[in-house]
Chains A and B, each alone.
Chain A
Amino acid sequence: MRITTSMVQRSILADLNTLSVKLARTQTKAASGREITRPADNPFGTSKAMGLRSNLAANDQYMRNIDDARGWMDATESALDSITQFVKRAQDLVVQASTDTADATSRSAVAAEIAQIIQGVKETANSSYGDRYIMSGTETSVPPYKLGDDDTYQGNDAGHDPALAGIVREIGPGVTMTINSVASELLGSGRSDPGDGKLLNVLRDIADHLAADDGAALRSGDLSALKQQLDGVLEVRARNGSMSNRLDAASTRMDQIGLALTDQLSKTEDADFAQTMIDFNSQSAAYQAALRAGATIIQSSLMDFLR
C-alpha cells in the first residue's frame, strides 16, 4: 500500500484523538468517583443503580418509621406499666379493707384513695406521644377520658376493632403494623356503661362497696375481679412486648438490607479507584508515546537526507 503524507497525518491525529477521549473518560471517572455518569455509559447498570437508589431511600424511610413506632410503643408501655402499678396498689388496699378488722372509717379512707387511683388511671390513659393521645384510637387529638366523675371513653375503637384501621406504620416493603392500644379495651367506660366489667367499672364498684362498708362484697367478688383486670393489663403488655420485638427484628433486618444495598450500589455505580488510577497512568503513558512517535514521524522526511 502506498502511504501518503495526509494518511500519516490523519492516522496520527485519529490515534491521538482516540487516546484523548479515553483519557478524558478516565479523568471524569476519577473526578466523580463514578463508573456510570450517564445512562448511555451502561444502560442496564443505570437502571439497576436507579432501582437500588430507590430501595435505599425506601429503606431509610422504613427505618425512620420503625423508630417512630418504637417511640409510640415505649410511651404505651410506660402508660401500661403505671396502670399495672395502680391496679396492684388497689389490690393491696382492697385486701386491707376486706378484713373484718377494718371498720367503716378506715374503709372510707381507702375509698378516697381508690377515687384517687381512678383519676390516676384515667390520667395515665391520657398520655400522649408528640402531641397525639396514644390510647384513644384514631381520635388522636381527643384525650380518652375526662377527669372527674364522667368515665365515658371519648375516643374510638380503631386499632382494637378489626373493622377499623388503627394507627398503622409501614415498617417494611408491604409490611404494616398496627401500633396503638385502645384504652376502652382495658378501662371501659365505668359507670356510663355499667356491667362492661372493665377496670374503671370494677374500681367504681369497689369504691361503692367501701363506702357502703360491704366487707363481704369486697372479699367475694372484688378481689377476684381486680385479679382478672391485672391479668388483662399484663396480657396487653405482653402483646405490646412482642410487637416491640417485631419492631426490633424489622429494624435489624432493615439495617442489614441497607448495608447490602449500599454495597451493591457502590459495586454498580462507583469507580474502582485503584483501577481508575492505573488506567489513567497507562493511558497517559500511551498518549505520551503516541505524541512522541507522531512528532518523530511527521518531522522526518526525505528532505532531511537529500543535499
Chain B
Amino acid sequence: MPISSFYGLQTSLRGLIAQQRMLDTTGHNIANASTVGYSRQEATLAASRALQLQVAGASNATGAHLGSGVDVQGFRRVRDQFLDAQYRGQNSSLSDWKARADALDSAELSLAEPGDNGINAMLGNFWKAWSDLSKTPDDAAAKTALVQQAGALTDSIHSVRQQMVWAQESAMGQYDAIAGPGGNVERIASELAGLNKTISSFIVNGDSPNDLMDRRDVLLDQLSTYGQLSVEQLDGGSMNVAFVDGSTGLSYPIVTDRTADWAGPPTGDWSPGGQMGGLLAAGKSPGGMIDGYLATLDQFASSLASTVNAAYGGDFFSIGTPPGASIAVDAAIQADPKTIVAGTGASGSNDVALAISQLKGNASVDGAYKAFVAKVGGDLNEAQRMQANAQILTDSVEDRRQSVAGVSMDEEMTNLVRFQRAYQASARAMSTMDEMLDVLINRTGRVGL
C-alpha cells in the first residue's frame, strides 16, 4: 500500500498542535497558581492510530505499523481524593478546637485573674473590711467601708457572670449564623446542588469539567470547617454530602445528588464536630462548658451568701435567681450601714465581725473560687494545646495535598521550555518534509533543462 507523500507533514502538524495544547495548559496552571483550591492540570497525550503497512519480506507477513504522531486525549486534574478526605477530617477537628478556644478565651478574659481587680482581690478586701470592723465594732465609718467593699465584691461577681453570658450568647450566635436558616451551610448546599447538576451533565457527555470540580472541592473543604462530613461519590459525577454525628453515627444530609437538603440543625442534641461542634460544646445551654462555669459561679455566690449570712446570724447578703447575677448587700444594710451588727454583746463586742473575718480562706468560698479559675484556665489551656496539635496535623495533610495538586512554578517553567522546544522540533520536522517535497516537485525530471 502506497503512503501519501504528505504523510509526514500531517504527523508534524499533530505534534505542533499537541505541544501547543500542552503550552496552553501550562499557561492555565501558571495563571491559577494562587487560586484557592485549584488543582494543577495536565494534557494527557497518546500516540495516534498507526498506519498499517505491508512490508515486503516480513517474515510473518502481518505488516508493520508506521507511527502517525500524537493526539491530545483530554485534560485531567492531578488530585488525590484520599488526601481530600483526610484533610477534611483534620480540618473539622482543628475548627472544633479553635471554636472552643475562642469561646473559652472570652469567658476566661472576664475573670481578670491573677490580678488586683479580680474577684479574688475583692474577696480579700471584703474579709479585711470585716477584720477592720472587728477592731472598731461601733464605728460607722468602718461599717460604711464594709458596705462599699461588699458592693465592690458583688459588682465584680455580676460583671464576670454577665461577660460569661455574653461569651455564651456570642458562641450560639455564630452557631446560628452557620447552621440556621439562611446560614452558610444552607447557602453552600444550594451551590453544591447546582454544581452537581452541571458537573454530571458534562460528564455524561464525556467531558471532564476540571475547574467546576475544583470549585466543588473548595465548597466541601469549607463545609468540613463547620462539621464532620461524609461524602459519597455517585456514578455520573454527582455526590451526596452529609454531616455525621460523631457519637451517634447518624447523618444529616446537606446535598443529595442534585437537591439541596439542608433544613437546619436537628432540634435535639447532636455532636457534629467542626466549628459547630466546638461552638456547641462551649456555648450550648444546658450542658455547654460556659453553662457549667455559670453554674459554678452561681454556686460560689450562694455559698458566699449562705456562709456569711450564717456567721452573721441574719441577712447580710440577699440572693435571688440566678444567684451570681442577683447577690447583693441586703437592702436594709445598704440603706443604713450603721445597722450592721458587729457583736452580740455591748458596743465594744466584736464576736460577729471576728467570726466572719475568720471565714477567709474558707474552702467553700475562697477555695471554690480558686478551683473555678483553675478549671476555666485548664479548659482553655487544653483547647489551645489541642488546637495547636490539630493545626500541625492539618498543615501536614495540606502539605501532602498541595504536594500532589499544587502548582510548582519551577516545574511549569521547565515544562514551558520543554514544550516550546518540542514545538520548535516539530516545526523543524515539518520544514524538513517541505524541503524534501521541494526536491521532488521542483528539481525532479528537469534533465537537460
Contact = CB atoms under 8 A, between A and B. Distances in A.
A68 B358 CA distance: 17
A300 B298 CA distance: 61
A42 B345 CA distance: 47
Nearest to A156: B346
B357 interface: yes
Contact of A165 (B123, B345, B358): B345
B351 A57 contact: no
Given A165-B349, A168-B350, A39 B380 contact: yes
B53 interface: no
A118 B173 CA distance: 83
A36 interface: yes
A44 B371 CA distance: 9
Interface string B342-361: 01011111110010011011
Interface in B394-427: 395, 398-400, 402-404, 406-411, 413-414, 417
A5 B114 contact: no
A57 B126 CA distance: 11
Given A167-B348, A168-B351, A44 B374 contact: yes
A303 interface: yes
B328 to A, nearest CB: 23
A3 interface: yes
A138 B400 CA distance: 82
B50 to A, nearest CB: 34
Chain B, interface size: which category?
Answer: 35 or more
Interface of A: 1-7, 10-11, 14, 36, 38-44, 46-47, 49-51, 53-55, 57-58, 60-61, 64-65, 68, 130, 132, 136-141, 156, 158, 164-165, 167-170, 173-174, 176, 269, 301-303, 306
Given A5-B406, A141-B347, 11 more contacts: A7-B399, A40-B105, A40-B378, A40-B381, A46-B114, A53-B121, A54-B360, A54-B361, A165-B349, A176-B358, A301-B410
15 contacts: A1-B400, A3-B403, A4-B411, A39-B376, A39-B377, A42-B381, A46-B373, A47-B374, A50-B373, A57-B121, A58-B124, A61-B127, A139-B346, A139-B347, A303-B409
Interface of B: 33-34, 105, 108-109, 111, 113-114, 120-121, 123-125, 127-128, 131-132, 134-136, 138, 343, 345-351, 354, 357-358, 360-361, 366, 370-371, 373-378, 380-381, 384, 395, 398-400, 402-404, 406-411, 413-414, 417
